[in-house]
Structure 1
Amino acid sequence: MTQQPAPTSAQIDHDRIWQVIGAHRRALADLLDGLSEEQWRHPSLCDGWTVRDVAAHLTLQELGLREVIGTMLRWRGTMDRTIQHAARRRAAQWSTGRICAQLRAMADSRRHTLGVTELETLTDVLVHSQDIALPLGLRLDLPADAATASIRRTLAMRWPPPLPAARVARGFRLVATDVAWSAGTGPQIQGPIAALLLISCGRTAALPQLSGDGVPRLAAALA
């Protein structure tokens, strides 16, 4: 299942960000609709998360102050474990049909969780869609302009704290082979913009799509 590619430009505006978020939520819901129970239970690219956990997590992108406080009251020692706990709670409480319906219901919304921007919401849905699709051998394409905006934000983030993989990726010269984008200095790594985004978010499943003298060092650093 694929989305129509969008023209790639140097910048992406506010309306386009929300257009991509909405379209990707709908496309992901369509993909999820076709999964078997076994596929819903399949491990995702997120260590320790099932496909169902990740899908449930994506329904938690509109948390206001009250919901954020409720999540923090269930603190599990780190933010990652706390977020995973919240996703697992929802995955256990909601049917797969309800998860899909909620993704569609959110498609036209422009709300985002307190403390993050729409760019974090964009990155969340783009990367987590691949966490679901890739281990199942399915395809859900990322619009190139949105992936470019997302990797820019990922590599530039100071708050929320950047992912460890993003700090690693900053030590390399990243060059996209399908759009006019590059960043950083150091050993070169080249590949499709979607693969570069996934690597910057710690998804080593994208390594086979990359080339360049920096790839072995990157793989070792991420391992």
Structure 2
Amino acid sequence: MRKAAATVWQTVRSVRRRLAADLSDLREGQWRLPSLCPGWDVHDVLAHLVDTARTSRLSFVRDLLAARMDFDRANADGIAREKRQDPQDTDDALKKAVDLTRTPPANLATRLVEAVVHGEDIRRPLGIRGSYPEPAVARALAYQLRTPVSFGGGRERAAGLRLIDRKTGAAWGRGDGVEADAVDLLLAVSGRPVARERFSGTGAGRLAAMPAGRGSGRR
């Protein structure tokens, strides 16, 4: 168990470090680009990542109570708390938070979901190619598939579908087949828009047409 946890945090640290480096020379206007996360721009998502990196079990409960048990309000409060006037200062804050291993009271796989999905929320609108360890993406996807949408997962979005990672052949679920890179499957079940041409199979159109949602931002 300890070895599995150590692997998760090693991945999270690596993903945070690479993302901070990718954003170190953005132009002013790029920070205001809409992210894949509905209602949040690139700078908002970065501030959210800083906030979640600093969130412990105790502070999560405290912040949720302060937000009157409203997850979206708690997230908005966290963004406001960590979003600096100069976006590069927010990026510096992520660099300082790289090695933190704090977590809210949730399955540790949520840290992988946060790292990968929010990493792509930022990178794809900017045209930056991300790279993530395949086992980490697979674990994040498996977690999202067994977690209801109301809890930040994507179980309902994948109901009646068999998702297949075209690189490894790993598969999840039963029903109409959808083949794609695992990271695209993860984004789609997490409520992110993914181009239809990234999917193949009889269930491809259905998955690509799923309505967007904040998904992993709800923790």
TM-score normalized by structure 2? 0.85
Q: Distance in 2 between matches of 1:169 and 1:23?
A: 29
Q: Distance in 2 between matches of 1:152 and 1:141?
A: 19
Q: Which residue in the other structure is 2:36 paired with?
A: 45
Match of 2:125 among 135, 138, 146: 135
Query: What does the per-residue CA deviation read over 1:105-154, in whole Å, with 9 as the maximum and x for residues that have no partner?
Result: 222222212x2232111110110010001011111112211101110111
Q: Distance in 1 between matches of 2:209 and 2:183?
A: 20
Query: What does the per-residue CA deviation read over 1:65-124, in whole Å, with 9 as the maximum and x for residues that have no partner?
Result: 24541353134x842343134214432x453233222222222222212x2232111110
Query: What does the per-residue CA deviation read over 1:172-215, in whole Å, with 9 as the maximum and x for residues that have no partner?
Result: 00011112410111111001111111111111225431111111
Q: What's the offset of the Cα at 1:155?
A: 1.0
Relative to 1, partners in 2 of residues 1:45 and 1:24: Cα closer, same or farther, differing over 3 Å? same
Q: Distance in 2 between matches of 1:159 and 1:199?
A: 12
Tell me the number of residue pairs that the alignment of Structure 1 and Structure 2 aligns: 208
Unaligned stretches of 5+ in structure 2?
213-219
Q: Distance in 1 between matches of 2:63 and 2:73?
A: 15
Q: Which amino acid aligns with 1:133?
A: R
**Contact 2:179-2:200 within 8 A present in 1 as well:** yes
What is the DSSP-based 3-state SS (H/G/I as helix, E as strand, rest coil) of the residue aligned with 2:194?
helix
Q: Which residue in the other structure is 2:175 paired with?
A: 186
Q: Could you tell me the percent identity over the aligned residues?
A: 31
Q: Which residue in the other structure is 2:75 paired with?
A: 83
Q: Distance in 1 between matches of 2:125 and 2:51?
A: 22
Unaligned stretches of 5+ in structure 1?
1-11
What is the DSSP-based 3-state SS (H/G/I as helix, E as strand, rest coil) of the residue aligned with 1:13?
helix
Relative to 1, partners in 2 of residues 1:39 and 1:86: Cα closer, same or farther, differing over 3 Å? same
Say if 2:116 is the partner of 1:123: no
**Contact 2:188-2:208 within 8 A present in 1 as well:** no
Relative to 1, partners in 2 of residues 1:168 and 1:158: Cα closer, same or farther, differing over 3 Å? closer
Q: Which residue in the other structure is 1:199 paired with?
A: 188
Q: Which residue in the other structure is 2:55 paired with?
A: 63
Q: Which amino acid aligns with 1:69?
A: R
**Contact 1:56-1:99 within 8 A present in 2 as well:** yes
Q: Which residue in the other structure is 1:95 paired with?
A: 86
Match of 2:204 among 188, 208, 215: 215
Q: Which residue in the other structure is 2:215 paired with?
A: none
Q: Which amino acid aligns with 1:97?
A: Q
Relative to 1, partners in 2 of residues 1:213 and 1:66: Cα closer, same or farther, differing over 3 Å? closer
Relative to 1, partners in 2 of residues 1:74 and 1:161: Cα closer, same or farther, differing over 3 Å? closer
Q: Distance in 2 between matches of 1:27 and 1:180?
A: 27
Relative to 1, partners in 2 of residues 1:210 and 1:159: Cα closer, same or farther, differing over 3 Å? closer
Q: Distance in 1 between matches of 2:188 and 2:19?
A: 21
Q: Distance in 1 between matches of 2:60 and 2:135?
A: 32
Q: Distance in 2 between matches of 1:14 and 1:69?
A: 25
